[in-house]
Amino acid sequence: MFDEYKDSVIEGCRRIVAENLVKGTWGNVSISDGERIFITPSNFPYEKLTRKDISVTDMKGQIMLSEHKPSSELKMHIALYNARKDIKAVIHTHPVFSSAVSLVCEKIPSLIEDSVMICGEEILVAQFASAGSEELAYNVVEAMGKNNAAIMKNHGLVTIGDSINEAITASLVCEKTAQIYIVALSCGNVSIISPEQAAQLREKYLKHYKQ
Ligand SMILES: [Zn+2]
């Protein structure tokens, strides 16, 4: 049952490895149908994942079907689905440049059009808390706000979307923007899109481009 959801999670895992957003089995991927969460198992090789390995829980994290322990970041996925009823997918990864930004900045400002449109006007860095904790879940929801990306201090990146594809696109765009920011910071003063123009870009994307 629910094969297409499980297949989406497996495909998402393969893509985050192929796109170099994670190393090994780090990171986690989930999709939700509004009543259930389909999520990667904890510490399981992505290349060996099959449908039966995907954990299924309800929206409170109660296990409905699982051969393995669900991802250790299940609480963060649940908190995001409960805070953002508009989303269907959550992707957590450990990419290099977003992680580097988390060490030196509180946010990525409105730098580049695609990032402002796809990720949000400013991408905020969530306060540090232990991996897998309720506190980390709370911090990430707070930093995410109405955006599609939040960077996790001294940890990595989480992105959301109405599909796995949309969440992966947000991860790739955020990571590219983090790389641009680090290069630009090392060169001199960084030029920023005005808050008014950034708000217009994001609104235009959400209203006209996203569909
Ligand atoms: Zn992590």
* DSSP string over 132-143: T-HHHHHHHHHH
Q: Which of 67, 73, 122, 166 is catalytic?
A: 73
Using one digit for the tens of pLDDT, what is the confidence trace for 144-153? 999 999 999 9
CB neighbour list of residue 193: distance below 8 Å, 6 or more residues apart: 110, 111, 113, 116, 201
* Cα gap 20→171, rounded to integer Å: 11
What is the pLDDT, as a whole number, of residue 13? 96
CA of 178 to the centre of ligand 1 (A): 17
Q: What separation in Å is there between the alpha carbon of 19 and the centre of ligand 1?
A: 16
Neighbouring C-beta atoms of residue 172, cutoff 10 Å: 19
Q: Ligand 1 centre and the CA of 32: distance in Å?
A: 20
Question: Average pLDDT for residues 152-160, to the nearest whole number?
Answer: 98
Q: Which domain holds residue 27?
A: 3-209
Q: Could you report the per-residue pLDDT of 67-118, keeping only the tens digit for each?
A: 899 999 999 999 999 999 999 999 999 999 999 999 999 999 999 999 999 9
Tens of pLDDT, residue by residue over 29-74, are: 999 999 999 999 998 999 899 999 999 999 999 999 888 999 999 9
DSSP 53: G
**Is residue 142 among the annotated active site residues?**
no
Domain count for the chain, please give it.
Answer: 1
CA distance 67 to 70: 9
**CATH number (domain holding residue 182):** 3.40.225.10
